[in-house]
Structure formats: structure tokens, C-alpha cells
Amino acid sequence: MKRTFIVALVVLAVLLAVPLTMQAYGLRIGTTMLMYGVLAMSWNFIGGMAGYPSFASAAFFGLGAYAGAVAQKYGVPHYAAWALAGLVAALFAAALGFALLRLRGHYFAIASLVVAEALREIVNSATALTGGGMGLNLPLPQASSVEAQARFFYYAMLGVAALTFAASFLVRHSRLGFGLRCIQQNESAADMLGVNTTLYKVIAFVLSGAFVGVAGAIYASWVHYIEPPDVFDVLYSVKPIVMVLLGGAGTLFGPLLGAGVFLGLEELVWRNYLSVHTGVLGLLIVLLVVFLPKGMLALRKA
């Protein structure tokens, strides 16, 4: 536990210091990495700890992005809009969780996958509120230079990532985390031994939605323009899973590690082989599943 604290503090210190030496490009990469970290750590609550194959991340991300953007359109200041986006995503996750978490395995996976599709269609047709397929422009923040803006969003994303990490840490060392691990191993047995499985699963699902919602809202402010196919992209559901699998499911640092490694690979492929980058991502997933199904942290133990 003490070692975890030290490692976490060192990582945080490095992440805080990084922008001092970075140009705009480096800051963009850093912000994306932190965003991926939030997505991966969030998915870890429901997918890694409770073992439920959720594909709902894209739904939370898009919902958060649109909640934040629409709030800002009506004059809500950006910090409040981001918090509101988190709240909307959390409430949505709670309502959805009570319905969907009764399903298991493939059925849950599919039902959660189609949520993002349905939300995208709804946002697409609610033109008056969301701009529909034309997308939505967001106000530029007050910061002066390009560098200052990049730094602002870097620190905003770092704040969310730190909160998500703190939440993972607390959950992991609490009754809730223990209950979730029981559910992962044998849900019926956990239920019989007095774990309130429904409540625990819903809490895990809400946690997996709230921070992603905030990250989505910050993303929207960051890129100034969002449209349904962009923020409800199914890849926002899939990438966090790959990152967690890459790093090690259910662990504390695994998702962060996976996010960093994944982003590095993605950037490398993007930059050098633009036309085949999705194919390479696919190949990476296949190799990962076949050769490293337990993640990189498992290599250390082997």
C-alpha cells in the first residue's frame, strides 16, 4: 500500500512537470494519453473488477461531450459544464445499469454496445438542441496563446485522471472492490453469501460512466467542435478494453500502463502508415488476445 502511494506520487509529479518542457504537439499527445487513461481506468471498474464486458464507454463519452457542449451553448461556464456532464453520464449509467446489468456475458456486451448506436441516432435527429449531423461548435476558452490553451486542457485532463485513479484506489481497497472481485469470480456464489450484487454492479457501472462523461466534455471543449459520428465512435468503447487487456485487467496501474503503451503504438502507426492504421490496430488486438491474454503485468509474474 505504501509502495503504491510512492509510485502514484512519482507518476503524478512527472505528469505535473511534463508540460513545462513540451510544445503544443507534445501537449496534445499528453492530453490524449491522459484521456485514454481515464477511459481505461473507468472501464476497469466494470470490465476488470466486476468482469462485465461493457461496450458502453462510447455512449458515456458521447453523452458527456454533448451534455457539456449543450450546457456551454446556453452559457454555463466550462468547469460547471464539465461537472454537469459527469453527473448526466452517472445518472444515465445508473438508470441503464439497473436495466442492463441483469444480463450476463454476450447479452450484456451486445446490449451495452448498441446503447451508443441508439444515442447517436437520437442526437443526430435532435437537431434543435444538438445541431444534428451538422455538429456543434464550442466557445473558445479565455486563455491567450495556443500553448497556454494546450497546457490548460492538459491540466484539466490530468485532474480527471487523478480523480479516476484515486477512485480506483479507494474502490480496490474497500468492501466494494472485494465484492466486485467476488462477482467476477462467481456471481451466484457472491449473491448467496450476502453480497448485494445488483447494487455493487450498478455502482461499478456508474463509476465507469461518470469520469468518462467528464473526459468527453473536456474533449469537446478541447477540440471546439463535435459531431455524432466522432464522439459516439465505437472505437471509444473498444480502445479502453484493449488498453486494459494490454496492461492487465483488474489491476491498479495496468490500465494506465496500457493507455500509455497503446497511445505510443497508435501514434507510431498513425504517423507512419496512415492508410493501414486500423488494420494494424486490428492485428495488434489479435496478437494481444492470442499471445498475451492476461496483459503485460502478467509477464512480470511469469
Partner 1 sequence: MLTLQILANGLVLGGLYACIAAGFSLVWGVLNVINILHGSIIVLGGYLAFFGYTQLGIHPFFSLLVAAPLFFAFGYFLQSALINRMIAAPVLLTLSLTFGLDLMVQNGMLLAFTADFRKIILDPPLGVLALGPVVIPIDRLLAMALALGLTGLLYLVLSGSRIGRAIVAVRMDREASALMGVNVRRIYAVTFGLGALMAGVAGTLLAMIYPISPLAGTTYLGKAFVICVLGGLGSVPGAMVGGLALGVVESFGGLWLGPEHATTLSFLLLIAVLLVRPTGLLGRKGYE
Q: Cβ(284)–Cβ(265) under 8 Å?
A: yes
Distance (Å, rounded) from C-alpha 91 to C-alpha 205? 10
Q: Cβ(211)–Cβ(260) under 8 Å?
A: no
Q: Write the CA distances from 65 to 8, 161, 234, integer angstroms.
A: 28, 16, 15
Q: Write the CA distances from 73 to 47, 78, 224, 267, integer angstroms.
A: 34, 10, 12, 32
- DSSP state at residue 133: G
**Nearest-5° Cα angle at 52, 237 to 261:** 45
Phi-psi region of 248 (alpha: psi -120 to 50; beta: other; left: phi over 0): left
Q: Which is nearer to partner 1, 234 or 296 (CB)?
A: 234
- The closest alpha carbon to 88, from 73, 68, 69, belongs to 68
Q: Which is nearer to partner 1, 22 or 288 (CB)?
A: 288
Q: Which is nearer to partner 1, 20 or 290 (CB)?
A: 290
Q: Max alpha carbon distance in the chain (Å)?
A: 59
Q: Which is nearer to partner 1, 1 or 290 (CB)?
A: 290
In this structure, is the dihedral angle defined by the CA atoms of residues 238, 243, 246 and 251, taken in order, positive or negative? negative
Shortest Å distance, C-beta 233 to partner 1: 11
Q: Which is nearer to partner 1, 83 or 238 (CB)?
A: 238
Shortest Å distance, C-beta 46 to partner 1: 11
- Residue 218 DSSP SS3: helix
Residues that bind partner 1 (CB under 8 A): 47, 51, 53, 99-100, 102-103, 105-107, 109-111, 113-115, 117-118, 121-122, 124-125, 234, 238, 241-242, 245, 275-279, 281-286, 288-290, 293
Ramachandran angles phi, psi of 136, nearest 5°: -140, 130
Q: Which is nearer to partner 1, 117 or 143 (CB)?
A: 117
Q: Which is nearer to partner 1, 12 or 110 (CB)?
A: 110
